[in-house]
Amino acid sequence: MQNYDLSKRILVTGGAGFLGSHLCERLLNEGHEVICVDNFYTGRRSNIAHLLSNNCFEVLRHDICIPLYAEVDEIYNLACPASPIHYQFDPVQTTKTSVHGSINMLGLAKRLKIKILQASTSEVYGCPAIHPQNEGYWGNVNPIGLRACYDEGKRCAETLFFDYHRQHGIKIKIARIFNTYGPRMYPNDGRVVSNFIVQALKGDKITIYGDGSQTRSFCYVDDLIDGLIRLMNSDEDVTGPINLGNPQEVAVLDLGKKIIEITRSKSDIVFQALPADDPLQRRPDIAVAKEKLNWKPKVDLEDGLIQTIEFFEKLLKSGSSDIKIHS
């Protein structure tokens, strides 16, 4: 039964996106009221359609670059396109979402004297000179490259969070999220896991950028959401930044082969040019998350891929895989 004493009204920006929709669902299941704020730039109504009949769930179509007045107890700030093709489609808007959007959400947190969590990213480390990456590393980002709208926007958002914390006493939590995958990724958003699965299921060529020796560490969405909620509920002195990700590192070529194997696909592998500023390696050091949040990922890459492949199989069969974005 719902415990109304512990129930909070929680604002989730970017709540109609991949991670946001899973977060809204988990918070509702925990008995909270959730207000999902989204401008549907990359988010989709279908991600949250199953939540709309829940009386504790509200949706507001709103761009966080514009100030928002709402009465809530906590804010999770997830709004921002996360896939390179989407954040590079309108790079000025991407930076505005991270910078103006964060200022607006921090202003709301300041007025209400509430906690606010920022979905930051491993991209703040850029193409890292240390491996694995720990939170003390300041990063190696090209400030004028194609990825800078996202990386520098997120870095500036972290600066704003810390300055609001120091200057105004706002309670902040910063998660540095590493590559996350799972059901509700978009089939055509260009991220590696969704690309490879869709290509394998359709029998299309698997597109490896570069020679595929670059590495990433993939975290299953359920684990990541668990980490975000633990961070929000952590002791007040825990501000982060805290890495949240799965330290199981894999080369992109090996990921492609694994997906071909699991799907028993006949797809061939093709090699294409590596995009500019594509980081060569990425693996989180999660010692801080283990110590401060008692968190570590539980879902193994193969098990998570099987769940994700099942999702895409259903989506492709339903014929609804061509999704319009930037609406």
Residue positions annotated with a catalytic role: 150
Alpha-carbon gap, residue 53 to 75, rounded angstroms: 22
Of 14, 183, 240, 279, the residue at the interface with ligand NAD (CB under 6 A) is 14
Please choose, out of 141-149, 161-169, 175-183, 286-294, the segment that lies near ligand NAD by the rule CB under 6 A: 175-183
* CB within 8 Å of 80: residues ≥ 6 apart: 14, 87, 94, 97, 98, 101, 119, 150, 153, 154
Site for ligand NAD in 108-147 (CB under 6 A): 119, 121
Question: Are 258 and 267 in contact, with CB atoms under 8 Å apart?
Answer: no
Of 20, 84, 126, 132, the residue at the interface with ligand NAD (CB under 6 A) is 20
For residue 75, what are the CA distances in angstroms to 19, 72, 174, 254?
Answer: 15, 8, 12, 38
Binding site for ligand UDP (CB under 6 A): 84, 179, 190-192, 195, 207-209, 214, 216, 252, 274-275, 278
Site string for ligand NAD, 24-63 (x = CB under 6 A): --------------xxxxxx-------------------x
Residue type, 229: I
Rounded least distance, CB 199 to ligand NAD, Å: 19
Report the partner that residue 216 touches, choosing among ligand UDP, ligand NAD, none (CB closer than 5 to 8 A by kind). Answer: ligand UDP
79 binds ligand NAD (CB under 6 A): yes
Residues in contact with ligand NAD by the rule CB under 6 A: 13-14, 16-20, 38-43, 63-65, 78-82, 97, 101, 119, 121, 177, 179-180
